[in-house]
């Protein structure tokens, strides 16, 4: 029997909230080889979401593959963001995967790109506010990692220094 979306959203939100205040909900798996934080499953999830957000055929001409998005997200979570974000983000990935399984009978990573985009579009809808917040948090973390990648900043011509500054 599949869970209702409401029960799944409540469970995911409760788990993320408990984790945010330091209550362990479940044991998170060890980091994948070459990663500081993200497990192998989380690396696959970040890649699957990254492909939906930053595909190879984008107008920008730089994709999630070109910047090794999972490694950038791992580095962002471990070296830049507050450590309280780490487990919340990891549980968020699980909530999206579990929600997809509950609603579609398949894990998020096993869906086609078109279906993954449809799932993310559903999560971005304002109809269910906690789900929208989860989508925005996911998009923010992946966006920070992607848009700070040198290949992307070079492509858009962004420089961290002022042009024409006195020498």
H/E segment holding residue 13? helix 5-20
* Confidence label for 115 from pLDDT (cuts 50, 70 and 90): very high
Residue whose C-alpha is closest to residue 23's, from 97, 87, 98: 87
pLDDT digit string, tens, across residues 42-64: 999 999 999 999 998 888 889 99
Cα dihedral 48/50/56/57 (nearest 10)? 100
- Distances in Å between the Cα of 143 and the Cα atoms of 6, 50, 152, 154 are 27, 9, 11, 16
Longest dimension (CA), the chain: 68
**What is the tens place of the pLDDT at every residue in 16-32?**
665 555 555 568 999 99
What predicted TM-score, i.e. pTM, was given to this entire model?
0.79
Q: What is the pLDDT of residue 9?
A: 58
């Amino acid at each position: 029997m599949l869970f209702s979306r409401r029960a799944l959203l409540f469970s995911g939100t409760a788990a993320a909230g408990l984790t945010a205040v330091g209550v362990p909900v479940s044991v998170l798996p060890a980091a994948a080889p070459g990663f500081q934080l993200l497990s192998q499953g989380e690396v696959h999830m970040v890649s699957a979401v990254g492909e939906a957000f930053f595909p190879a055929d984008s107008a920008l001409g730089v994709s999630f593959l070109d910047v090794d998005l999972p490694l950038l997200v791992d580095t962002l979570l471990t070296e830049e963001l507050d450590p309280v974000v780490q487990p919340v983000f990891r549980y968020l990935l699980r909530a999206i995967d579990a929600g997809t399984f509950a609603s579609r009978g398949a894990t998020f990573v096993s869906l086609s790109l078109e279906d993954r985009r449809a799932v993310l579009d559903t999560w971005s809808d304002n109809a269910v506010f906690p789900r929208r917040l989860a989508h925005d948090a996911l998009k923010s973390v992946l966006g920070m990692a992607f848009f700070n990648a040198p290949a992307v900043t070079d492509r858009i011509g962004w420089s961290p220094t002022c042009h024409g500054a006195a020498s």
